[in-house]
Amino acid sequence: MITARDAGAAVADRLYQIRAQVDNVVRRTPSVRYDRGELAPVLLLPGVYETWQFLRPVADRLNALGHPIHTVRELGYNRLSIVDSAELAQRYLDQKQLTGVAVVAHSKGGLIAKRMMVMDDRAGRIDRLITINTPFGGSPLAYWTLVRSLRAFSPRDKTVMTLSANLAANARITSIYSRLDPLIPGGSKLEGATNVCLSMVGHFRPLAAPALFAEVERAIASGR
């Protein structure tokens, strides 16, 4: 049962999304410092209708710790199919010849990254994946939308079902998710993965939460 407090948190989550969208329009692209660092390279993959800058709070934290940060700017607002997005992101890793990569992904980005791990990463460049509120089993809310880019999250979507059936890659995935996500009623718990539930409500607000930063850092450091 959703309480009044949870409903208020859901509203705050939507307001956070709107503010982030506006902020990302006016913020400049990252400086060259994002490419610097001696620790494992990190690839950022945002959610649908998001640029990589939605993950800027996580990126700033990881870069300050010594991780070079990589983004696929050609993804734009991430409206391509999961398959096409995965191929595009994999091409970036191959061109840069990155190895030991930790992918940090929000929502749809997690599906893109798992597709890369399962199908595209033939050179084994991805070491591990840390996802934030990813609909690994799809979202029933997708049944009610006419927008193609959102229907792709249907639990009956072929790509979603194929990725869900593949359990081999899950051991290298850490799935971090809110205790209540208004956009993913079924949650983001993933069989065979390291699952971390945050005591938060929302799909977007966790991206700027210190609790999330700590879990992402822990996942990268532990190699899980």
pLDDT of 6 over the 70 cut: no
Average pLDDT over residues 61-77: 94
Sign of CA dihedral 158, 160, 162, 165: negative
Q: What pLDDT sits at residue 20?
A: 75
Q: What pLDDT sits at residue 169?
A: 96
Q: What pLDDT sits at residue 30?
A: 60
Q: What pLDDT sits at residue 11?
A: 75
213 CB-side CA count, 13 A? 13
Name the residue among 149, 152, 150, 155 with its Cα closest to residue 137.
155
pTM for the model: 0.92
pLDDT of 149 over the 90 cut: no
Name the pLDDT band for 29 (thresholds 50, 70, 90): low
Strands (E) in the chain, as ranges, are 42-45, 69-71, 101-106, 126-132, 173-180, 194-201
Q: What pLDDT sits at residue 28?
A: 58
Name the pLDDT band for 2 (thresholds 50, 70, 90): low
Average pLDDT over residues 55-77: 94
